[in-house]
Amino acid sequence: MQTVIMSPGNQPAHLRELIFDMIEKDWLQPTIVTYDNYLTALLVNGEIERGIDFIDILKNKGIQPTVTMYENLMKKICYFEWPEEALALLKRMEAENLPTYSSMYYDVLRCSADQDYLDGLIYCWEKIIEERYLDLDEGACIDVLHVAARFGKPHLAAQVLVYLTENRKVPLDKWHLEPLLEAFINDNDIKQAMDMLSVMTAAGAKPNSKTALPIVAAISKNVESIDKAYYSLEELVKDGKKVDVLALNTIINACRFVNGSGNKYGNRTKPDIHRAVETYKSAEKLGVNPDVHTFNALLGVCFSAQHRELGQQFWTEMQRAGIQPDSESYRRMIYLCCSTDYDYEDAFVYLEEMKAQNILPSSTIYEKIIKTCVNHNDSRAKLALEEMENFGYTIPKDIRILFENNGANRTGSNREMGNANDFQQKTVASRDFDFDFRSGMNDRLNKSKTDDETSLKSDTFNADNELNDLDSFLSALTKMKIKK
């Protein structure tokens, strides 16, 4: 009979219950092995709740469940991702003075992280730190970081980073630090989030516009949030800290998407041009040197506001500052030129200029120009389409349908034909455009990616400071060296 019980996976549940009924009717005394096998049979059959109840039944009978029984039950609970029950079982073992292992805390921690159960995660994490368990893997630590970010727990995120660098000797990278930034945001500490951008730059993590997207989302809710974010930059300057140019750009980007009361018309968001311009003008006072991304953000505001003249002023300002436009700069200017119904000739000027700078126009640029020409019955649409094909781009289906429905290949006015002839000459010249530069550009992108992925050398990080002092932590983080 015990042999049958020890093979719970080979028989149906009713046979298991029949065996135990026979044991009770025959007044046989089950051993702890019998109970262990019965619990295993329940777990194999996925009867987790009955397994938990069975532990209670044994306790009521004065029978102490073994550590193995608790451990097997806990593993199954974590497998089914019931973090609250797993934590309760773990605390029960502690209350009964049963030995607990690091693997138990790891299992409950992972389960809690997967289900965003903050209480279980914090409880297990504190035990891991208290007992100095040093073999928690990096993946689990990253899961904890993301939970800390979602719940706005920067101190927890800081502890995880210290654990990774000091105990696991993991070289930190941008994806380790970004959750700490998000934790500050969700803790409503925009000032510290802005400072975190400078910390990441100083540490070699190289934050970019994507890194700052959570800040943009947080402060673009209304104009009051944007003002608060700007004042936080002034406070950083008063504190003697450096303001990263990305922090300035972030506020300008938020001005483009602000959703304050009365700032919407139709289905589009009306940008706050005034705040964007004033933020840009404050760059010198904040000790920030605007870069190409600053002007790209300003051009984005101008495009959303359909303010072409202001966009051209910023373009001139960028050239005077000696800042070289990039592909995104040209794209936004071309979009801005195409957004006006009366005159879009400058779009072709910027197109030729970016090709002269050996910058490959994106497919979206050609699509925008083609659609604009088609809408104005401009025969240059066909020439732009040919050039787009010459560059190896796949023509989207909607563009071809647009040609068919609007007859874009019809002869236009004399002015259009004259412009078409000029554009055709440039199109022919574009066929001699340096196509190999794309491979060169890929090399530069790969180099940039390599630079972005340079890790931070953990053995230079001093984590002996108090974790409750985030300023000390960030100061130590700033001093970390880049691992080449």
DSSP E strands, 281-433: none
Instruction: Report the distance separating Cα 339 and Cα 372, nearest Å.
Output: 8
pLDDT at 472: 72
pLDDT at 23: 63
| Inter-residue contact 63 to 57 (CB < 8 Å) | no
pTM, whole model, 2 decimals? 0.80
Here the tokens at position 372 are: 């604009």
| Inter-residue contact 159 to 150 (CB < 8 Å) | no
pLDDT at 41: 81
Tens-digit pLDDT profile for residues 134-193: 889 999 999 999 999 999 999 999 999 999 999 889 988 899 999 999 999 999 999 999
| Inter-residue contact 109 to 132 (CB < 8 Å) | no
In three-state secondary structure terms, 477 is helix
Tens-digit pLDDT profile for residues 89-112: 999 999 999 999 999 999 999 999
pLDDT at 27: 60
Q: How far apart are the first and last CA of the chain?
A: 66
pLDDT at 44: 83
- What are the residues whose beta carbons fall under 8 Å from the beta carbon of 141, sequence distance 6 or more? 160, 163, 164, 168, 170
Within the chain, which residues score under 50 in pLDDT?
1, 4-5, 8, 260-267, 408-418, 427-466, 481-484
Name the H helices within 96-222: 102-114, 118-131, 138-150, 154-162, 174-186, 190-203, 213-219
Class of domain 2-140: mainly alpha
Instruction: Report the distance separating Cα 204 and Cα 278, nearest Å.
Output: 30
